[in-house]
Amino acid sequence: MKPGPDLLRRLLRAKDRMDGAPHEDWPVPRLARVSAVSPSHFARAFKQAFGVPPHRYLLTRRIERAVALLRDTDLPITDIAFQTGWRSLGTFGRVFHDITGESPGHLRAREQSEPHSRERVPECFVRAAERPDLKSAVSEKRRTRAAGTVAPHTKEVP
């Protein structure tokens, strides 16, 4: 059952807060206060409305921002990790690799070596095409790769 319009508006308010400051900590109780619902109700309703739990959504936003900074700036990877909300460079690198299939340094080298014609493509299309696939938990992706069932650089197409 999808959330009603009133609840959806309140969920969107929490989602907008995460979008506006993905570098901040957004535990479910804080998001629930923004939406004026209980934490358990918020977590269930968010997943029903947007297809992913709040934490996975936040990870997606952080990785999207990190990819953009790696591609478009010369900032050190450590600075990018901390600017996008990670407290540990090791955790950032591991999760980044699990989601994108390559390390931040390799992604930067590849992105900066390829000629781009992104100026002709609307930014919303570029972001949608490059959005990390977080339909399953990162730990599930690691177990799947360890079992050898999915190649690390493939992206499932719906």
- Does the pLDDT of residue 141 top 90, yes or no? no
In tens, the pLDDT along 38-68 reads 999 999 999 999 999 999 999 999 999 999 9
Helices (H), the chain: 5-20, 28-35, 39-50, 54-72, 77-83, 89-100, 104-113, 123-130, 138-147
If asked whether residues 25 and 81 sit together in one domain, one would say no
In the chain, the number of structural domains is 2
> Tokens representing 110?
């590849």
The pTM is what?
0.69
If asked whether residues 47 and 73 sit together in one domain, one would say no
Q: CA 59 to CA 55: how far, in whole Å? A: 6
Domain that holds residue 81: 57-147
Helix (H, G, I), strand (E, B) or coil at 93: helix
